[in-house]
């Protein structure tokens, strides 16, 4: 299946921006982020791979982390978007919309023709 | 009770497999990944996933350890660190250490062996000039110490030989330990 490969690549490339989008406005802890991403259809196939992704975003300075105690379980590592993360997200969002519009246009013209 | 134990066993097996797979990662990343995964599972359990089936589902959703480690390896630049001592450097150190003892067997072999050792030492980029001098002077220094003990203290021959051996082994060990891999352009 050719499309499957394409979507694997697309997921890999876009997931970090989905993470950044979820972190705009509010900090979230790892488990909460993973659940939020998992609820969306077709976005995450292996939840565990989100943790290496989060670690990379932190190394790149796009998110910041802080520890907070939890009443019900272990201490939680909260993630917040940095200003740099928000800028990267804004830039991606603009490009992504243009990209989607272009692809949609071609796909639809193909259907009509 | 036994249900708890079965779940524990599942989680332990999963985390062990993850730790094994993650062995290739740099220590900091490995520890962080393992801590994150542990916290995730603990969070799921605190949130009500307690039965064996529920735990199985949590672990299935996390994915296979190999996939998770592959994601952590993604984009990781592997820097090949050159070995401190290459085979030729081991030969150099070995010859400098052993050649003097060949003297009683054959003077020519001893001198040629030592000469090759010194040649390899000075053409290697693993040592500074100071350490190359140390390596070169080890034999003369050891020999001089033995002669000194013999001439001034009338030390028995075994004591002179022992002093020579201690000095030689000490200096050559220091030489081997002070080899430095050349710094690479990054």
Which of chain B's residues have a Cβ under 8 Å away from the Cβ of A56? 74-75
Residues 53-112 of chain A with CB under 8 A from chain B are 53-56, 70, 72-77
**Would you state the pLDDT for residue B157?**
84
Tens-place pLDDT, residues A34-81: 999 888 877 787 899 999 999 999 999 999 999 998 887 788 999 999
* Cβ atoms of residues A18 and A43 within 8 Å: yes
What mean pLDDT, rounded, does chain A reach?
90
3-class secondary-structure state, position A23:
coil
Taking 50 as the pLDDT cut, the residues of chain B under it are 1, 78, 185-186
Phi (first) and psi of residue A61, to 5 degrees: 80, 15
Which of chain A's residues have a Cβ under 8 Å away from the Cβ of B30? none
**Would you state the pLDDT for residue B1?**
46
Structure tokens at B180: 């430095």
Interface check A52 vs B, CB under 8 A: yes
3-class secondary-structure state, position B147:
helix
Angle at B68 between CA B48 and CA B24, to 5 degrees: 130
Angle at B176 between CA B147 and CA B107, to 5 degrees: 40
User: In Å, how far are A45, A71, A75, A77 from B4, measured between CA atoms?
Assistant: 27, 21, 22, 26
**Would you state the pLDDT for residue B7?**
87
Please give the sequence-ordered ranges of beta strands (E in DSSP) within chain A, or none if there are none. Answer: 28-29, 63-68, 76-81
Interface check A31 vs B, CB under 8 A: yes
A50-59 and A2-22 helices cross at what angle (nearest 10)?
A: 50
Structure tokens at A48: 């565990």
Q: Which of B29, B40, B65 is nearest residue A30 as measured by Cβ atoms? A: B40
User: Looking at this predicted complex, what is its ipTM?
Assistant: 0.88
Q: Go through the domains of chain A in sequence order and give each one's CATH number.
A: 2-112 (1.10.10.10)
């Amino acid at each position: 299946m050719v499309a499957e490969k394409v979507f694997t690549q697309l997921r890999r490339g876009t997931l970090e921006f989905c993470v950044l989008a979820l972190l705009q406005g509010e900090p979230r802890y790892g488990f909460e982020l993973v659940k939020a991403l998992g609820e969306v259809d077709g976005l995450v196939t292996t939840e565990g791979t989100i943790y290496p992704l989060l670690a990379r975003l932190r190394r790149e300075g796009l998110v910041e982390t802080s520890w907070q105690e939890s009443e019900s379980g272990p201490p939680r590592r909260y993630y917040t978007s940095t200003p740099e993360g928000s800028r990267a997200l804004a830039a991606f969002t603009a490009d992504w919309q243009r990209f989607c519009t272009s692809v949609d246009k071609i796909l639809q013209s193909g259907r009509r023709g | 009770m036994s249900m708890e134990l079965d779940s524990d066993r599942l989680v332990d097996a999963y985390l062990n497999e993850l730790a094994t797979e993650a062995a290739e990662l740099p220590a900091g990343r490995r520890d962080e990944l393992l801590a994150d995964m542990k916290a995730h599972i603990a969070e799921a359990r605190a949130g009500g996933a307690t039965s064996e089936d529920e735990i199985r589902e949590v672990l299935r959703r996390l994915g296979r350890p190999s996939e998770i480690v592959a994601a952590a390896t993604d984009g990781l630049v592997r820097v090949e660190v050159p070995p401190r001592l290459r085979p030729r450097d081991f030969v150099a150190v070995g010859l400098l250490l052993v050649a003097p003892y060949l003297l009683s067997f054959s003077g020519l072999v001893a001198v040629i062996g030592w000469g090759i050792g010194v040649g390899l030492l000075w053409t290697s980029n693993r040592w500074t000039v100071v350490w190359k001098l140390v390596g070169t002077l080890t034999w003369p220094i050891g020999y001089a110490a033995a002669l000194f003990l013999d001439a001034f203290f009338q030390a028995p021959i075994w004591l002179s030989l022992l002093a020579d051996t201690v000095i030689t082994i000490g200096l050559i060990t220091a030489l081997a330990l002070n080899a430095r891999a050349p710094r690479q352009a990054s």
